[in-house]
Structure 1
Amino acid sequence: MNEDCRRPAGHAQTPTFDPELLAELEILFGRPRLMELLGVLDREISARLDTPASEPSQLARDAHVLVSSSGALAFRTLSDACSALEQACVRGEEVAPSLNTVVIAARHARDAIATLRAA
């Protein structure tokens, strides 16, 4: 697996995805199916975050969907960021900082997905 796509630039301690879990998923599903699932995740990220919802309840729903889908496919950084965003929305807190973190994590995840699928 390409080491360069595991970590976002400037975030040496925060991996974009868990390479060991992704390797296990590849064994479980096979490479073609895993690549298909990563493509679905990429489209889901794009649909929900290219233009994030402005209404907090919709933003919370979008974040909730991404918590599950990104976490299940080894993208824990994005999953955790989405969980924090969802909680901020539910609590009525300021969402801009959490949303910014999610958008950055999503960009790194999409870059990693593109690299993984091209390999």
Structure 2
Amino acid sequence: MNELAAAEPGFTPSAVFDADALTELEGLFGRPRLMDLLGVLDREIVLRLDPPADESAQLARDAHVLVSSSGALAFGDLSSACSALEQACLRGGDIAAQLGTAVHAARHARLAIATLRGV
């Protein structure tokens, strides 16, 4: 487990993604390509949510990008959290809870990606 993951009590990288789906993706793409794709997702998370945009329309766009990219790579919690964030932004209500959930899921996804990639 990487140093960041070890610093978060109770964090289990494998609980953050669908291991069976990642195994299937590895079979389709090969391990090197899958690791590249996970690196791209990690950079997208940083770009979109670290820190999150202040303006709700931009935050909705950022969340939308992460819905599909994280979902495609078996990070269902992050995808669901970003979907809820996107919808909250589009409805124009209070987004604090959804943003907090998305940022938390993003942090866990980044920790799991680092563990998977061995960085």
Fold conserved between structures, TM > 0.5: yes
State the AA in 2 paired with 1:33: R
State the AA in 1 paired with 2:92: G
Distance 1:55 1:75, change over 3 A: same
What's the counterpart of residue 51 of structure 1? 51
What secondary structure does 2:74 align onto? Answer: coil
Cα distance in 2 between the residues matched to 1:113 and 1:42: 7
Q: TM-score, normalised by structure 1?
A: 0.88
State the AA in 1 paired with 2:69: S
Q: TM-score, normalised by structure 2?
A: 0.88
Say what the alpha-carbon RMSD is for the aligned residues.
2.0
**Which deviations, in whole Å up to 9, do the C-alpha atoms of 1:79-104 show, x marking residues without a partner?**
00000000000001111100000000
State the AA in 2 paired with 1:57: A
| Corresponding position: 1:17 with 2:13 | no
State the AA in 1 paired with 2:81: A
Cα distance in 2 between the residues matched to 1:100 and 1:9: 18
Distance 1:10 1:37, change over 3 A: same
State the AA in 2 paired with 1:79: S
Cα distance in 1 between the residues matched to 2:9 and 2:45: 20
What's the counterpart of residue 100 of structure 1? 100
Matches within 5 A, 1:1-119: 15-118=15-118
| Structure with higher RCO (Cα < 8 A, 6+ apart) | 2
**Which deviations, in whole Å up to 9, do the C-alpha atoms of 1:43-97 show, x marking residues without a partner?**
0000111110011000000000000000000000000000000000000111110
Alpha-carbon deviation of 1:19?
Answer: 0.3
Cα distance in 2 between the residues matched to 1:9 and 1:116: 18
Number of residue pairs aligned between Structure 1 and Structure 2: 112
Q: Sequence identity of aligned pairs in percent?
A: 69
Unaligned 5+ segments in structure 2 are none
State the AA in 1 paired with 2:101: T
